[in-house]
Chains A and B, each alone.
Chain A
Amino acid sequence: MKIRKLYHLPPEKQQDLDYLIRLEWWNLAFRLSIVAILGTVLGNSQAMKVAWLEDMLSLIPPIAFLLAVRFRNRPPNKTYPYGYQRATIIAFLCTATALSAMGLFLLGDSLLKLAHQEHPSIGAITLFGETIWMGWVMVGVLIYSVIPPVIIGRLQTKAAAKVHEKTVFADGKMSKADWMTGMAAIVGVLGVGAGFWWADAVAAAIIALDVTKDGITNLKEAIGDLLDRRPHFTSREKPEHMEEALEAELCAMPWVAAASVRLREEGPIFSGEAFVTPHSNDDLAQHLKEASQHLNNYDWRIYEVVVTAWPNEEHTPSPVNATPS
């Protein structure tokens, strides 16, 4: 049985990844503090409840990433000959599903409150012997809940792009947009204080909509990856044209007449197959092995490209006969 070698990041990328892992620990710590503090001042406000649940859900991506990073360092073995690189994607899919489902539930809940014309109560709280309106405390806490995610979100997207960690990149993008949901909750709470009963439920619905949107975006990413979609770079919408670059590399070799390549994403890294038509069959096995090694070292993101030889007339495989028999 042929078992893959364990994937190793280049040293400078490993440093970037270590930085990202540290960042995610900080992210997790701040998120936990936000959830704890928000939880103490929830009151009767729907917007606060939704913002709080959103913050709770935002604990999942860093936890999932930190778990997956540990898990995928296990070497490939007889049971899992392709290794554990896709552990990240499983975590990502779970997060995305949770986000979508929770977002939809909260959206329904908020719209129901709006339909029932429920008047939210934001009562009083006694702090240091002084009884003040709870809304002020909520606004203060919401402002705190907005600041760390925006800063960490920026750092996350930059660091995640360096090591092509899509899950963290998506999480960072969500964090950067988090201040808008925080603001929505603040407007909701202040609106209730100004006597507009609907302000709270409307703000809650907006936040829920944002959670759902994030969930569906992530779901698309995760499903794309599981369906072996062609590689996209983290921060870009369009596919990475690495296949063409690899084909050019192969065609530049003197023994190659024609070449075509397909790639898929396995978490943060790419794997795939190259189909090569040689000019002659001399030293073919050796040529194929060297070509494979060359491609695997072409870019740090490439894990394993298997190079096989194809006769000339069958070179451009159609989707039907491209399946190896």
Chain B
Amino acid sequence: MQSKDSFISCVFRTNMLLICAVFALAGCRYPVNIERPMTEMQGGELNVGLSENPPWVIHTDQGPAGLEVDIIRALAENMDATVNWHWDSEGNLLAALSQYQLDLVAGGLTQDSNVSALATPTKAYYESRYSVGVPRNTSLPSHLEGVEVAIPVVNHIAHALKKEGAIPHPTPDLDALNQAVANPSWWLHAHNYQVGDWEIATDQHVMALPKGENAWMLAVQRHLNSYPGIEQRLQHLEAEQ
């Protein structure tokens, strides 16, 4: 028993030493990245992958625009870094990210298993709430049971709408319709619809970072959390289009 006790205290001391050593190694910059040091990013270059998805990421003749592009520009400015933009499909970009060729991927990504298989998503910095809106001159229905609701032709909310009892009606052009429309609340506001209280679905918006770049993640997350007025900016971008 004596020897066992002294063994345990020996293990304990080694553990404590290890923890202290880890702290000493890390100094005050904690955590650090596994692949690319933060010192290289600050005042250096950031490689950002973009996949077009308005109004989050918009391809214009003057270069990239959109909410996420603005957010990344502000971050780069804070870090004194220049940004190299790389346009590609979401799949290609995530694959490149998983091989540490990129520092960040944006494209209106939402929290799902495709993203987290190859990358680490940030915590959701914005939540798009899908609701049903009606033109300003009509009154909101009290319930959705049997109500015909226009939705984009390509969408992921048809099932959720049916569950509420509504009849989804895929429509090519949702602008200036004289009927109920289901879309994110910022879109409905931007197109001057009256927005109901229903929450048909939500999209958790994230950006993708390489796995294990924990200091970079902390920096991005802090920036995202402090970025103001996202909803207004989205409405503004949508109205401009």
Binding site for B on A (CB under 8 A): 44, 118-124, 126, 131, 133, 135, 180, 183, 186-187, 190-197
Interface flags, B211-230, vs A, CB<8A=1, else 0 = 11110011001100100000
- Do A131 and B15 have beta carbons less than 8 Å apart? no
Tell me the total A-B contact number using a CB cutoff of 8 A.
84
* Given A123-B217, A133-B30, A187-B15, A192:B123 Cβ within 8 A: no
Residues of B in contact (CB 8 Å), total 30
Q: Is B235 an interface residue (CB 8 A)?
A: no
- Do A193 and B214 have beta carbons less than 8 Å apart? yes
Of the candidates B8, B11, B25, B123, the one whose C-beta lies within 8 Å of that of A124 is B123
- Do A192 and B222 have beta carbons less than 8 Å apart? no
- Do A195 and B34 have beta carbons less than 8 Å apart? yes
Taken together as a complex, chains A and B put the C-alpha atoms of A195 and B214 apart, in Å, by 8
- Do B34 and A124 have beta carbons less than 8 Å apart? no
State which residues 17-33 of B face A: CB under 8 Å: 18-19, 22-23, 25-26, 30-33
Q: Please list the 10 inter-chain residue pairs (A to B) with the smallest Cβ-Cβ separation, ordered nearest first.
A: A119-B212, A193-B31, A121-B120, A124-B221, A195-B32, A119-B211, A190-B22, A183-B15, A194-B26, A131-B222
Which of A119, A122, A192: most chain B Cβ within 10 A?
A: A119
Q: Is B70 an interface residue (CB 8 A)?
A: no
- Do B212 and A192 have beta carbons less than 8 Å apart? yes
Contacts of B18 in A (CB 8 A): 187
Q: Is B122 an interface residue (CB 8 A)?
A: yes
Contacts of B15 in A (CB 8 A): 180, 183, 187
Contacts of A44 in B (CB 8 A): 120, 211
Contacts of A135 in B (CB 8 A): 31, 214
Contacts of B120 in A (CB 8 A): 44, 121, 123
Taken together as a complex, chains A and B put the C-alpha atoms of A191 and B31 apart, in Å, by 9
